[in-house]
Structure 1
């Protein structure tokens, strides 16, 4: 008796596609509802971005195959990566798989080791404390813009050192949101539309050129400043509340790349852009959503403040304190789970491949969505609720269901830095401002590159709200 091989499963197509633009109108109007709805149509679902088909993977087990077990068959690529590569070059996040990627990763990895990050922790804390304390008492503020600004400032201190000129930091802060919005526009529109000499396309190109110029100025500033000497000394808050001020260094993470003579100025720019785009708006969005959720859940705020008080004993925050605040990390992780922060990522098949019984052609765009997986009720009960206690046991999430930092050989290299920055900024805001309340209507989740709150205004006060 012979066994007949199973026929490849038919790949379902998402409903609602239109001629010429495909499902681009869904991705532009309500992308989060659209991407999560695809789970109901199959484990792999075909959509069209313009005339180009793309295959959305809705099963975490299959996504793990794409990112880890069969990663050689799914190269870093696809419409989003191609759009990023056109404007941002070959940084670590966009460079093709192969020897060049491995060489870049090995070169950059030491910058983001915990021990290396720790040497910058004190200066990051100092910068964040100054920025947060400067907010006027009682004045409604655009929280997403504030979080991006504070995050960018802290990251620039870590990346380029403590003496980056103020005008450079201001221009970075102004440029990055516009660049991120322009980049996602390039990914959801047909290629023929993005190639036209339209004002929006020309403006995006000009902004990226200006960003490269700013990075050049920051690099020139670092190379002209020369190596900085280590400074700082150990201090103790007493035996009843162990609390030490650690030794820090004022030079930047980027100095490690500046000493490598094999990197051209173009490659240094590419890597700096990669680091900036990967570390700023994602962190800013997470913090903005975290503050919003804290404001809605008084019991969560009370637990956070009690933990902070017990750890700090009224003293200034230090890097060593971060590991002693597990509940703060749970709150941040739940914000990352609920809001993404990246909602759509692409790969490209290197050959014809079978994925869960579905035959994908060579060169196909394969889409995976952290947002989709992290809102699957089969893995995260009541996914729209904000429940930090679901992370009390870190094994609670099924393998591959929490993918905010990716997985496999292209996993986010800056994960440890992101956690450090998130915890520093959240703890500093809680320590600086006893009260904060939302003054705008409830924000809508707006998917650009990240999932950001729009609008979100809050009032920070020292006295009664």
Structure 2
């Protein structure tokens, strides 16, 4: 029987600050180093303790036991502050009802229609590229994913270009505020300094704009065939307080805000990192281009092409391993419990990191190497163990939009590969951005059209 003892502390604790300096300066190497200290490691943020799960089996336990390890803690509390109490942030007590009401919007039968919108937006944004003219990749990928979300979620809203740009700017300000505010104890988070004012204005304006769109939808009574229309029509036949209950306006605002944030930032980050990695691995780039030429012959990828885009799919999976967008998340214990033989009190913050698990050398040999063939059929002896890839979480709280996201990323990467070759700008310093989403900063590339002579016949 494993002895009961307190979880070990991570090395490098500073007086008063704890590990806050390491987490703000260089969090990824810090988290990747924690397994050397134990399966469950204490990290301090000032006076607060966070228990970081470093073992895959314990991570599964946390993700699957949502009654004991509920949504909450330092990160989720900040995300809930901005996005509200939607499907991704609500507590266990509300999750099943919200999942039943939102699931119809993500039914597999809707995916071909969503994919058509994705293809249109991918072609529109990348069609504006010019030979040799430097592009800032991440904002362009954001434009694709945000326009896709608008077209699939609120197609009847008829947003102007100005309103769309405003929503995207507010989204960026809010996302960047999550991680920093995790280190900002009250009352510092309420001081009227510029950063706090910008953050508060951005999150309030997003919710106000979505509220106005919902009011217009209710007033018109028109079914636009989009996600919001589906949510408005949804009824819960097993609601505890009355069959046929739907989502309130506040709940609709929370869901739409959550879907807009998650569906824009995470997929844009995934696509941008994939383009960056491919450009730095010529052999893999050659395989990707060969597949795009064979399957697409210069055309845009569609839903029907997905089964044949095997190389593209493996690249997306390996990118998710190296740069999982939601790289660090937290839960809170609802009762006194034990994890890995260590006692945890009720109300403790437990953090888990897909990045940490994905970069363990015992699970992924040579973990820093970009190797899409890890996921190739026929390599079962060297494939990573089942359940060690966690970019969308696991269990009942696994991301509802995981297939939506990977479909969009696969269509985007294949379409770009069929039409363009992206070259890194010499001297560009590409780094992960410090925030709740692991997005690339400084990713500038030069597109060169791939002519018909470069492609194999379809």
Q: TM-score, normalised by structure 1?
A: 0.89
Aligned with 2:227: secondary structure? coil
CA–CA separation in structure 2 for the residues paired with 1:226 and 1:10:
58
CA–CA separation in structure 2 for the residues paired with 1:417 and 1:6:
42
CA pair 432-6 structure 1, distance change in 2 beyond 3 A? closer
CA contact (8 A) 2:298 2:419 kept: no
1:202 pairs with 2:186: no
Aligned with 2:44: secondary structure? strand
Report the counterpart of residue 349 of structure 2 in structure 1.
Answer: 365
CA pair 130-222 structure 1, distance change in 2 beyond 3 A? farther
Aligned with 1:280: secondary structure? helix
Report the counterpart of residue 179 of structure 2 in structure 1.
Answer: 184
CA pair 163-362 structure 1, distance change in 2 beyond 3 A? closer
Aligned with 1:366: secondary structure? strand
1:146-175 deviation line (CA, Å, top 9, x unaligned): 111211111221211276323332222222
Report the counterpart of residue 49 of structure 1 in structure 2.
Answer: 45
**Which residue of 428, 434, 454 corresponds with 1:441?**
428
CA pair 459-80 structure 1, distance change in 2 beyond 3 A? same
CA contact (8 A) 1:140 1:439 kept: no
CA contact (8 A) 1:292 1:438 kept: no
1:118-166 deviation line (CA, Å, top 9, x unaligned): 1222122112211110123321111111111211111221211276323
1:357-391 deviation line (CA, Å, top 9, x unaligned): 11111110001000000000100111111000001
Moved over 6 A (4+): none
Report the counterpart of residue 81 of structure 1 in structure 2.
Answer: 76
CA–CA separation in structure 1 for the residues paired with 2:156 and 2:417:
24
Aligned with 1:451: secondary structure? coil
**Which residue of 441, 444, 455 corresponds with 1:454?**
441
Aligned with 2:52: secondary structure? strand
1:330 pairs with 2:332: no
CA pair 74-463 structure 1, distance change in 2 beyond 3 A? closer
CA–CA separation in structure 2 for the residues paired with 1:137 and 1:222:
42
Report the counterpart of residue 386 of structure 1 in structure 2.
Answer: 370
CA–CA separation in structure 2 for the residues paired with 1:212 and 1:440:
40
Larger deviation, residues 422-431 vs 158-167 = 158-167
Report the counterpart of residue 148 of structure 1 in structure 2.
Answer: 142
Q: TM-score, normalised by structure 2?
A: 0.90
CA–CA separation in structure 2 for the residues paired with 1:19 and 1:86:
29
1:138 pairs with 2:132: yes
**Which residue of 110, 127, 148 corresponds with 2:121?**
127
**Which residue of 227, 233, 242 corresponds with 1:259?**
233
CA–CA separation in structure 2 for the residues paired with 1:348 and 1:146:
36
CA–CA separation in structure 1 for the residues paired with 2:9 and 2:129:
50
Deviation at 1:315, TM superposition (A): 4.4
Report the counterpart of residue 235 of structure 1 in structure 2.
Answer: none
Aligned with 1:447: secondary structure? coil
Aligned with 1:383: secondary structure? coil
CA–CA separation in structure 2 for the residues paired with 1:315 and 1:185:
42
CA–CA separation in structure 2 for the residues paired with 1:42 and 1:400:
20
1:101 pairs with 2:95: yes
Aligned with 2:51: secondary structure? strand
CA–CA separation in structure 2 for the residues paired with 1:267 and 1:275:
12
Report the counterpart of residue 302 of structure 2 in structure 1.
Answer: 318
Report the counterpart of residue 157 of structure 1 in structure 2.
Answer: 151
1:366-422 deviation line (CA, Å, top 9, x unaligned): 010000000001001111110000011496222332110000111111001011111
**Which residue of 195, 207, 216 corresponds with 1:212?**
207
CA RMSD across the alignment: 2.1
CA contact (8 A) 1:374 1:401 kept: yes
1:415 pairs with 2:402: yes
Report the counterpart of residue 66 of structure 1 in structure 2.
Answer: 62
Deviation at 1:313, TM superposition (A): 4.1
Report the counterpart of residue 403 of structure 1 in structure 2.
Answer: 390
Superposition map of 1:224-239 within 5 A: 227=222
CA pair 6-251 structure 1, distance change in 2 beyond 3 A? closer
CA–CA separation in structure 1 for the residues paired with 2:28 and 2:83:
25
Deviation at 1:435, TM superposition (A): 4.6
Superposition map of 1:20-39 within 5 A: 20-39=16-35
Larger deviation, residues 258-267 vs 176-185 = 258-267
1:161-215 deviation line (CA, Å, top 9, x unaligned): 2763233322222221111001211113334422333332222111101111221
CA contact (8 A) 2:275 2:422 kept: no
